[in-house]
Structure 1
Amino acid sequence: MALLEASGIVKIFGKLTALNGAALTVGENEFHGLIGPNGSGKSTLMKCVAGAETPTQGSVRFAGADITALSPAERARAGMSLKFQITSVLPALSLYDNILLALQAQASLLDLVLSRTRGALHDQVMTMLQQFRLAERARDPASALSHGQQQWLEIAMALAAKPRLLLLDEPTGGMSLEERRVTGELLAPIKAHCSLVIVEHDLDFIRDICDRLTVLDQGAVLETGTVAEIQASRSVQEIYLRRA
């Protein structure tokens, strides 16, 4: 059984049809890339999966359950986590406290009221910071980080809930080549316990980390397949040449 199945997704904004029967299927422990020219509907499909947008038609199933009508918060509780393109870290707080808050969101109200969580979560906070090569900056304000490091911090925060599926919308936007390379290295270990759907314009980056790709064009799926199959596709080559 697939972990995620979005099928027949239509999304209409006024007179604009952003998605026209789009579909996306992602397996357990699979890294799946969502690519296509600008305006092809990638981010809109991601938002429909995450619950940030409600499909005009179609359904979204997660872990066998229909979640089409669930809110983003309910999807998060079901095991889905989303990071949009724009960072949403709290810049005035330390890296440590940003991660701590993300972990505390999973704690009970009683534990929060009794202040039981900070000490209990210390090891988890430091483990996550170490995983994303940020431990030495733990006490620095998030505002002091480079753009790429802020993206890594937010990915770490998105993983705090131990999701079964992580959704990333253009995580390497604005990064240097070296930061993009490191981002790929940082994401690789999560495959052992988490699937990934990633929208990305950097085709070299997405090719290197993904198992399968889905190509959108004008709101519909053009092709889905392995990286090798998509690279060899004449249809895919043509849409990129046409939009170049």
Structure 2
Amino acid sequence: MALLEMRGLCKTFRTLRALDGVDIDVQAGTFHGLIGPNGSGKSTLLKAIAGDHFADRGTIVFDGRDITRATPYERARAGLSLKFQITAVLPELSVYDNVLLARQSGESLPRLLMSSSRRRLDGEIGALLERFRLIDRADDLAGELSHGQQQWLEIAMALALSPKLLLLDEPTGGMSPEERRATGRLLEPIKAHCTLIIVEHDLHFIRDICDQLTVLDQGKVLDQGDVETIQRSPKVQQVFTTRV
């Protein structure tokens, strides 16, 4: 059974049909890419999965549970995490404290009131910062990081609660070519314990890290399959030649 199953998802904003009967399965332990022209519905689909807005019709089943009408909090507690396109770090707090607060969001109120979690979580926070090349910046303010480093910090924050599914919306936007390559290398190890859905305009980046691709166009699924299948697809080639 797929970790995430979407059937017949529709979402309309006034006269704009952003999603129009989307059917997608995402298998556990895979990196699944969403690609398509601007306005094809990619970010809308991510937000529908995360609960940032509800689909008008259709169903979303996550890890065997229907979350179609679940709140964002309920989805997060079920093991779903989202990193939006625009970074949302707390610039006046240290890099370390940004990750700590993200991790503490899953703590019980008594533990937080007793302030017992900081010392206990220190090893986890350090490991995340090490993984995303931020350990040497742990005491620096998050606002002092480069754009690429802030993106890495927010991914670390999204992973702090050990989600089953991570949603990334254009994580390499604004990065240098070297930072994009580094981001791919940094993400690869999480596949052992976390499934990934990623929206990205950099086709070279998404081709290199994803196992499966879904191509959206005008709110509909144009084609799905592994990278090689999508690269050979005449329908996809036509869309990316004429509308991207």
What TM bracket, shorter-length normalisation?
A: over 0.9
Please tell me the residue identity of whatever aligns with 1:4. Answer: L
Letter in 1 for 2:217: D
Structure 2 residue aligned with 1:29: 29
Name the structure 1 match of 2:168.
168
Q: Which residue of 2 aligns with 1:152?
A: 152
1:81 offset after TM fit, Å? 0.3
1:36-185 aligned at under 5 Å gives the runs: 36-185=36-185
Shift, 1:185, TM fit: 0.4
Amino acid in structure 1 at the alignment position of 2:71: S
Unaligned runs of 5+ in 2: none
Displacement after TM superposition at 1:163 (Å): 0.3
TM-score normalised over the length of structure 2: 0.99
- 1:16 CA displacement: 1.0
- Structure 1 CA distance for aligned equivalents of residues 91 and 82 of structure 2: 19
Alpha-carbon deviations, 1:154-185, whole Å to 9, x = none?
Answer: 00000001000000000000000000000000
CA separation in 1, counterparts of 2:218 and 2:105? 38
How far residue 143 of structure 1 moved from its aligned partner, in angstroms, is 0.6
Q: Please give the secondary structure, in 2, of the residue aligned with 1:223.
A: strand
CA distance in 2, matches of 1:104, 1:56: 33
Instruction: Report the CA distance between 1:152 and its aligned residue.
Output: 0.2
Q: Partners of 1:65 and 1:102 in 2: how far apart? A: 24
Provide the C-alpha distance between the structure 2 equivalents of 1:115 and 1:218, rounded to a whole number of angstroms.
Answer: 49
User: What amino acid maps onto 1:66 in structure 2?
Assistant: D
Match of 2:228 in 1: 228
Residue 3 of structure 1 corresponds to: 3
Cα offset, 1:103, TM superposition: 1.1
User: For residue 194 of structure 1, what is the aligned residue in structure 2?
Assistant: 194
4+ aligned runs moved over 6 Å, structure 1:
none
Unaligned runs of 5+ in 1: none
- Are 2:27 and 1:15 equivalent residues in the alignment? no
Aligned-residue RMSD, C-alpha: 0.6
- Measure how far apart 1:118 and its partner are: 1.0
> What's the CA shift for 1:242?
1.1
Partners of 1:64 and 1:115 in 2: CA distance: 35
Q: Match of 1:86, SS?
A: coil
Deviation at 1:190, TM superposition (A): 0.2
- Aligned partners of 1:24 and 1:44: how far apart in 2? 14
**Identical-residue share of aligned pairs (%):** 62
Give the aligned partner of residue 205 of structure 1. 205
- Give CA-to-partner distance per residue, 1:164-221, whole Å, 9 cap, x none: 0000000000000000000000000000000000000000000000000000011000
Residues paired across the two proteins, number? 244
Report the 3-state secondary structure (helix = DSSP H, G, I; strand = E; otherwise coil) of the residue aligned with 1:68. Answer: coil
Per-residue CA distance 1:51-76 (angstroms, 9 max, x = gap) = 11111110100011110000111000
